[in-house]
Structure 1
Amino acid sequence: MNVKYLLSSFVLASVALTSCTDLDTAPEGNTVTSDQKNEIIGAKPERGEAGVRAIFSTLNQYCPNYVAMGKSTRHSDFGYGSVLYFTDANTEDQSAGNNGYNWSGNSLQLTDRNYTSYESQMVWNDHYQAIYAANNVCASYAAGDPTDDQGKFFYAQGLATRAYMYLNLAQLYQFTYKGNESKPCVPIITDANSNEAAANGAPRATVQEVYTQVKTDIDHAIELLTSTKYVAGDGDAKRYISKATAYGIRARMNLVMQNWAEAASDAQNAIDEAKKVGIEPASIADVSLPYFNKRSCKDFMWCIYVEETDDVVATGIINWISHNGTFNYGYCQYSGGHQINKKLYNQIPETDVRKGWWSGEDGKNTHLDDKYNAYLAKYSFPAYTSCKFNTYDGTLGCSTNANDIPLMRVEEMYLIKAEAMAKAGQDGKSFLESFVKTYRDPSYTCNGDVQEAVYFQKRIELWGEGLIWYDVMRLNKGIDRRGGGFDATVVFDIKPGDPILLWRLPQTEINANVAISDADNNETTPAPKPVKDEE
């Protein structure tokens, strides 16, 4: 078995990430040792930087799974943004017309759980391709931690990216950490065991083993980022993983593991580190118009950089914002765009600025100028349509779809801290109230359970950013679309713990990995059947 095929898209990565694999092969074809790699990076640090840049280039690619999917071009295949797109469509919070222009139809129907589905292949590959690139960087430091500041920063990028990807995989392919520690999760491939995996395959590690790997990597990354004086230049500041972002990744991990005090501490550290470089929550004024479109947004901690010259932008429509941006040129204009669950929308107070992130029951948005409403009417967008994301240049119908894609915003850290404080027996209620009153709703009062209140806030704040699925799984929620305004064919009431909630390892992985058989995969589950809707 070829380990590059085990991590499916590595067939492509070996071509696309030449800057990274150049470090693995000497001119005469022999393998370069770890010591030699360190010498190369020490003498030519730009080679180390090229390897790091290769990690983040995997997140934004035009049809990276073309070969793995049998030379099939899918207009929902645009890098890691595809994963965000699919997981949002799986939820009860985001609806869309189940029509030919909507490329998230399989995820709306949850037929993406079929292990031969295109989505199954993309979700798997998009994670493991980034892990492959991260492993190449980590392998360069196998002899030990670098002593130079730049080397420490580069090594931290590989470790933190690997931690991030495995943390997400753990929550997609198995239920939440507590109570499921011994259940099968995903194969662990690192720079240390890749040769063994190539020779003998890699079995599904347990949930506990995956989280141990995540913790080891992110702890090490934070140590390196703490000890280095090197920081990315302004042009790369939010492309790379900063110390603030690394704390944010660990805060997410500790939240899942129910390490409440540690989660609260990490979230506060993320907030503090972000503030040092001018990152703070977007204000009520900032988000009173469409926002969240580029790295210069004051609340972005980490994002996928999308440049005008990128292939995904050159296509016009095969990119994340084409499918998610109501006011952009792209698929939304023809598919009807994305809508918020109307029950969720109706729970948002009128005093909350986020009420204006969607149109109302009549299809109009009283919070926005006439030009926005004219645009909504021109393309016949239905009620509750997203008005959250601004276009690349701020003009309606912008045809340059070069929006950066948020991966972590600082507002999430405030919400993590509020929940973790409450669960740790501290005053999370007051902390939550202070945050929401300051940045979103001056009239806000937290009533009831703080954890549930935070979940509600996340459903609004992070809507459309591909993150809420992880809270659905972490909090053992189901998917109840009744009364949400969904097409009748996708109105489901899926109970917590239903095996349909888990993704299945793709068939190509089963075929290629001699350490995994069909019997090792997650349960085969029929697609859910629609239920009677509610008004």
Structure 2
Amino acid sequence: MNLKNITYIVAAAFLLPVLGCKKELTTKPTTSVAESLIYDSADNIETVLNGTWSYMQDSFFTYSNPGYTTILRTSDAMGNDVAVITNKYGYRDAYEFTLANNQTRLGAIWTILYKVINNCNNIIAKIDASSGTDAKKAQIKGQALALRANSYLNLVTYYQFNYQVNPQAKVVPIYTEPTTPLTKGNPKSTVEAVYQLILADLTQAEKLLPAYSRPATTKYKINIDVVHGLLARTYLNMGKWDLAASNALEAKKKYSYMSADDYATGFNDLKNSEWIWGHGQRPDQSNASYTFNFLDVSSPSSYYYSFMADPNFKNLFDTKDIRSKLFLWDGLPSREGYLRYQKFKFREDQTGDIVMMRSAEMTLIAAEGYARNSDLTNAVALLNELRGARQAELYTLGTSSKDDVIAAILIERRKELWGEGFALSDILRTQSAVQRLPALGADGQPLKVTIIKPDGTSKIVTAKQHTSLKFPDGTAFIPNSSYYLFGLPQTELNNNKNINN
């Protein structure tokens, strides 16, 4: 995955422009080689695919926009349970729902997703005619189809309201063929059309990848389990509950839950038994690790440590739950009273692998699918399977209603997937309002907590909590607000005259 070592192969692929960003992408470097040579063999095309993945994860736009994790952190910051320290660098705009003012972030997200799409379009269009074994070509084509589907799934998730609101709403342009600087921009397609493409890509990938087996150290490579996981996410968004559940169960089969000890090691190692999909990092290839500077609130080397937990989030956990042990009231100078949730930690070499998909997520998708289909027994069994692995109190079905069980599963998603990029997508998917409330003590006054200072003495302070409790216009959080949607970057609006046709 060393991008420096594959520049000669992928240069031309990376030059194929993202519509709306032509000025930035049309300068050809002296290392470019003929396109016919780049795509003449399956081995070369696989290098293009690896380079596309590396570009997606490791391209810096600014320090607060480190590749694909920009999308994940933006989603986290716009949700319920991350209380962003707003005087620290990065993500204040997302947290305060003023994302439309940050053209750099809007441009970074759009460019990453459409550049990946265009590279995948080239691979899909040219792999069949290349030299190589049928098995290798099937693997590469399946992986490119799934990666393209993942990009479109992000676009349809964040740029329009959920499929179940209005499948005919316009969302983003679709491109399935390679583009050139002369290609005219496409108008927005409907939400339904984008989902049809996602399902077509993933269904084809599902047929191409069953025989592919990846080494355990290369979980960035898409295999059949990742495809099933992406299908599960897609069907969950669409409200196809039975298909969401069945694909989630397929995806998680080979990935056992991590131990209690592993849960406390920092969510930084793709060798973790739960991880289905992830991006590895090492000291000489560590751009994506920069996201840990926001998530890691306990390592002295973390620059920003700005993704603190809302005190109300802590109340969702029972004391037996291994996850509850990750909370700590900060006692450091200038940080007194912030609530650390010490889930993410840099490794000693200042790197951290990026988690993209885990079996725990798949368990919760399957549980929700069963619950929404009124199979409460199986839903609770899956919920308790995960709760048991976390040593938490088990859920008792008893006389619980369908809505009660669904609510419990959605809370479990918040508890289990905190900081992994699902906060805003779940709010949009469930047509919910952001929930940010003041943290109050039993007396109804701002919560007081005891901290331990560096010298070992204790001190009672007021807990730091959410500072953004309403939309920028002063109105209350509501479901299906346009404040939740990502905006199109101005470059796209300027360069694609067909965008709103």
- TM-score (normalizing by structure 1): 0.78
Distance 1:218 1:75 in 2: 33
Q: Which amino acid counterpart does residue 187 of structure 1 have in structure 2?
A: P
Q: Compared with structure 1, are the counterparts of its residues 452 and 336 closer, same or farther at alpha carbon in structure 2 (3 Å cutoff)?
A: same
Q: Specify which of 342, 347, 350 is matched with residue 311 of structure 2.
A: 342
**Offset of residue 328 of structure 1:** 3.4
Q: Which residue of 1 aligns with 2:204?
A: 220
1:93 touches 1:340 (CA, 8 Å); kept in 2? yes
Distance 1:53 1:431 in 2: 39
**Offset of residue 10 of structure 1:** 9.3
What are the equivalent positions in structure 2 for 1:149-298 lying under 5 Å apart? 149-191=135-177, 194=179, 198-226=182-210, 228=211, 230-236=212-218, 238-272=219-253, 275=254, 279-287=255-263, 289-298=264-273
Q: Compared with structure 1, are the counterparts of its residues 358 and 9 closer, same or farther at alpha carbon in structure 2 (3 Å cutoff)?
A: farther
1:59 matched to 2:56? The reply is yes
1:270 touches 1:413 (CA, 8 Å); kept in 2? yes
Distance 2:351 2:272 in 1: 14
2:45 touches 2:123 (CA, 8 Å); kept in 1? yes
**Offset of residue 254 of structure 1:** 0.6
2:43 touches 2:132 (CA, 8 Å); kept in 1? no
Q: Compared with structure 1, are the counterparts of its residues 293 and 401 closer, same or farther at alpha carbon in structure 2 (3 Å cutoff)?
A: same
Secondary structure of the 2:170 match is: coil
**Offset of residue 381 of structure 1:** 5.5
Show CA shifts across 1:449-475 (max 9, x none).
222111101101110111222111100
**Offset of residue 429 of structure 1:** 3.4
The 10-residue stretch of structure 1 (205-214 or 400-409) with the greater mean CA deviation from structure 2:
400-409
Q: Which amino acid counterpart does residue 312 of structure 2 have in structure 1?
A: K
Q: Compared with structure 1, are the counterparts of its residues 490 and 174 closer, same or farther at alpha carbon in structure 2 (3 Å cutoff)?
A: same
**Offset of residue 94 of structure 1:** 0.4
Q: Which residue of 2 aligns with 1:108?
A: 95
Secondary structure of the 2:356 match is: strand
RMSD of equivalent CA atoms? 2.8
Q: Which of the two has greater strand per residue?
A: 2
Q: Which amino acid counterpart does residue 221 of structure 2 have in structure 1?
A: Y
**Offset of residue 211 of structure 1:** 0.2
Distance 2:22 2:262 in 1: 39
Distance 2:130 2:407 in 1: 44
Show CA shifts across 1:5-38 (max 9, x none).
416389459869x8xx85x6247xxxx9xxxx4x
Q: Compared with structure 1, are the counterparts of its residues 498 and 380 closer, same or farther at alpha carbon in structure 2 (3 Å cutoff)?
A: closer
Q: Which residue of 2 aligns with 1:402?
A: 351
Q: Compared with structure 1, are the counterparts of its residues 336 and 312 closer, same or farther at alpha carbon in structure 2 (3 Å cutoff)?
A: closer
Secondary structure of the 2:298 match is: coil
1:471 matched to 2:421? The reply is no
Q: Specify which of 425, 432, 443 is matched with residue 393 of structure 2.
A: 443
1:415 touches 1:458 (CA, 8 Å); kept in 2? yes
Q: Which residue of 1 aligns with 2:84?
A: 96
Distance 2:198 2:112 in 1: 18
**Offset of residue 190 of structure 1:** 1.7
1:13 touches 1:129 (CA, 8 Å); kept in 2? no
The 10-residue stretch of structure 1 (302-311 or 494-503) with the greater mean CA deviation from structure 2:
302-311
Show CA shifts across 1:208-251 (max 9, x none).
0000000000000111012x3x4233432x01111111100000
Distance 1:348 1:94 in 2: 15
Percentage of identical aligned residues: 25
Q: Which residue of 2 aligns with 1:414?
A: 363
Distance 2:251 2:148 in 1: 19
Q: Compared with structure 1, are the counterparts of its residues 433 and 108 closer, same or farther at alpha carbon in structure 2 (3 Å cutoff)?
A: closer
The 10-residue stretch of structure 1 (104-113 or 214-223) with the greater mean CA deviation from structure 2:
104-113
Q: How many aligned positions are there?
A: 453
Q: Compared with structure 1, are the counterparts of its residues 10 and 445 closer, same or farther at alpha carbon in structure 2 (3 Å cutoff)?
A: farther
Secondary structure of the 2:17 match is: helix
1:488 matched to 2:467? The reply is yes
Distance 1:441 1:509 in 2: 49
Which residues of structure 2 form unaligned runs of 5+?
1-14, 440-463
Q: Which residue of 1 aligns with 2:4?
A: none
**Offset of residue 424 of structure 1:** 2.1
Q: Which amino acid counterpart does residue 249 of structure 2 have in structure 1?
A: Q
Distance 1:15 1:392 in 2: 37
Distance 2:436 2:231 in 1: 32
2:173 touches 2:499 (CA, 8 Å); kept in 1? no
Q: Which residue of 2 aligns with 1:8?
A: 21
Q: Which amino acid counterpart does residue 388 of structure 2 have in structure 1?
A: T
The 10-residue stretch of structure 1 (256-265 or 483-492) with the greater mean CA deviation from structure 2:
483-492
- TM-score (normalizing by structure 2): 0.83
Show CA shifts across 1:115-166 (max 9, x none).
x622211221121122222222212236699861111111111000011110
**Offset of residue 435 of structure 1:** 1.2
Q: Compared with structure 1, are the counterparts of its residues 434 and 91 closer, same or farther at alpha carbon in structure 2 (3 Å cutoff)?
A: closer
Show CA shifts across 1:79-136 (max 9, x none).
101111111111121012110x33111111111124x622211221121122222222
**Offset of residue 198 of structure 1:** 4.3
1:102 touches 1:331 (CA, 8 Å); kept in 2? no
Q: Compared with structure 1, are the counterparts of its residues 405 and 50 closer, same or farther at alpha carbon in structure 2 (3 Å cutoff)?
A: same
Q: Which amino acid counterpart does residue 343 of structure 1 have in structure 2?
A: N
**Offset of residue 311 of structure 1:** 5.9
Q: Which residue of 2 aligns with 1:46?
A: 43
2:21 touches 2:111 (CA, 8 Å); kept in 1? yes
Q: Specify which of 310, 313, 322 is matched with residue 285 of structure 2.
A: 310
Q: Compared with structure 1, are the counterparts of its residues 87 and 344 closer, same or farther at alpha carbon in structure 2 (3 Å cutoff)?
A: same
Distance 1:3 1:511 in 2: 19
**Offset of residue 185 of structure 1:** 0.8
Secondary structure of the 1:302 match is: strand
1:25 matched to 2:35? The reply is yes
What are the equivalent positions in structure 2 for 1:491-502 lying under 5 Å apart? 491-492=470-471, 493-502=476-485
Q: Which amino acid counterpart does residue 313 of structure 2 have in structure 1?
A: L
Q: Which amino acid counterpart does residue 345 of structure 2 have in structure 1?
A: N
Secondary structure of the 2:172 match is: coil
Q: Which residue of 2 aligns with 1:69?
A: none
2:322 touches 2:390 (CA, 8 Å); kept in 1? yes
Distance 1:143 1:446 in 2: 57
Distance 1:327 1:487 in 2: 19
Q: Which residue of 2 aligns with 1:357?
A: 326
Distance 1:346 1:161 in 2: 37
**Offset of residue 336 of structure 1:** 5.0
Q: Which amino acid counterpart does residue 488 of structure 1 have in structure 2?
A: T
2:268 touches 2:347 (CA, 8 Å); kept in 1? yes
1:458 touches 1:468 (CA, 8 Å); kept in 2? no
Q: Which amino acid counterpart does residue 86 of structure 1 have in structure 2?
A: T
Q: Compared with structure 1, are the counterparts of its residues 446 and 155 closer, same or farther at alpha carbon in structure 2 (3 Å cutoff)?
A: farther
Q: Which amino acid counterpart does residue 102 of structure 1 have in structure 2?
A: Y
